[in-house]
Amino acid sequence: MSIDGVVGRDLLAAAPGVAASTGSACRSGVFTPSPVLTAMGMDSARALGALRLSLGRWSTPRDVATAARLLTAAVIGDAVPAAGGR
């Protein structure tokens, strides 16, 4: 998922109850656009805003709803700085 004007790592910092990643597992800790997303035609700003949310065997609809609520609250509540504000 990606939200215009939001940097993925800032969104995760503003929603600490969500376990997600801003890139692939092999690129952990790297703050550059995902080569996979850019190869798919996504521009750099949008790729930096992307979050990788995964579901597992034991994930429930309630888990999905909670993650959606926390991420939405972080964006709507202005807890995430605008990407252009750097």
65 is catalytic: no
Task: Give the tokens for residue 70.
Answer: 């926390």
Q: How far is CA 16 from CA 19, 38, 53, 67, in A?
A: 8, 27, 14, 10
Q: How many CB atoms lie within 10 A of CB 28?
A: 9
Among candidate residues 25, 26, 39, 40, the one labeled active-site is: 26
The count of C-alpha atoms lying within 13 angstroms of the C-alpha of 60, restricted to the half-sphere facing its C-beta, is 3
- Which residues participate in catalysis according to the annotation? 26
